[in-house]
């Protein structure tokens, strides 16, 4: 039984049913990275790291974006809406988008090139792009280098 005032995750460093332990150091790093995000975002990120469940990605992406959106606009993120526009509806400019990307890279352990962001206009596009990155598949909006001068390590479909 979990003591009052403590969460399951604070007591156990593995998710229920998971075989992949989360070290205390990794948990502390994740908490620090997401300290200004909602507890739901942290929980989804923790579960994602423990299980690799891509079903956790929408909560993580929305939570990371929410952290950078002005408080009076955050209510728009509560209702899932793939058509929600980053610039027009959430007032996210290019600098803010870069901050979002840096946090997403840290939390999800992915690498995103600046060029890959140019085609992302809506929340749905960001969700699909991140899911593709996590699966290590080319995203519909770009499959170029992960960083300037680097190429992504992708499985060779002809190998095996």
Question: Average of pLDDT values for 147-153?
Answer: 38
Q: Is residue 73 part of a domain?
A: yes
Total domains in the chain come to 1
Q: Are 120 and 128 in contact (CB under 8 A)?
A: no
Residues of the domain holding 93: 21-134
Ranges 79-93, 115-129, 137-151: which has the least confidence? 137-151
CA-to-CA distance for 29 and 27, rounded, in angstroms? 5
Q: Is residue 149 part of a domain?
A: no
Q: Is residue 6 part of a domain?
A: no
Q: Is residue 152 part of a domain?
A: no
Question: Average of pLDDT values for 40-64?
Answer: 95
Q: Is residue 123 part of a domain?
A: yes
Q: Is residue 132 very low, low, confident or very high in pLDDT (cuts 50, 70, 90)?
A: very high
The reported pLDDT for the residue numbered 83 is: 94
Q: How many CB atoms lie within 10 A of CB 89?
A: 16
Residue-wise pLDDT for 99-111, tens only, equals 999 999 999 999 9
Q: Is residue 148 part of a domain?
A: no
Residue 57: is it exposed, middle or buried by C-beta count within 10 angstroms (0-12/13-18/19+)?
buried
106 Cβ neighbours under 8 A, 6+ residues apart? 33
Return the DSSP state at 64: H
The reported pLDDT for the residue numbered 17 is: 54
Question: Average of pLDDT values for 125-142?
Answer: 77
Q: Is residue 4 part of a domain?
A: no
Q: Kindly report the CATH number assigned to the domain that includes residue 101.
A: 1.10.1200
What are all long-range contacts of 59-63, with beta carbons under 8 Å and residues at least 24 apart? 60/104, 60/107, 60/108, 60/130, 61/104, 61/123, 61/126, 61/127, 61/130, 62/123, 63/34, 63/37, 63/38
Q: Is residue 112 part of a domain?
A: yes
């Amino acid at each position: 039984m979990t003591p009052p005032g403590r969460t399951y995750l604070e007591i156990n460093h593995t998710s229920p049913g998971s075989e992949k332990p989360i070290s205390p150091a990794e948990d502390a790093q994740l908490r620090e990275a997401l300290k200004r995000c909602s507890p739901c975002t942290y929980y989804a990120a923790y579960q994602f790291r423990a299980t690799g469940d891509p079903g956790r990605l929408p909560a993580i992406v929305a939570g990371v974006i929410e952290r950078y959106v002005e408080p009076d606009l955050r209510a728009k993120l509560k209702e899932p809406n793939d058509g929600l526009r980053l610039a027009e509806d959430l007032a996210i400019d290019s600098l803010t988008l870069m901050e979002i990307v840096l946090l997403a890279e840290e939390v999800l352990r992915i690498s995103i090139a600046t060029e890959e962001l140019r085609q992302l206009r809506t929340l749905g596009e960001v969700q699909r792009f991140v899911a593709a990155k996590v699966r290590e598949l080319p995203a519909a909006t770009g499959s170029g280098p992960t960083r300037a001068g680097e190429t992504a390590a992708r499985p060779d479909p002809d190998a095996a």
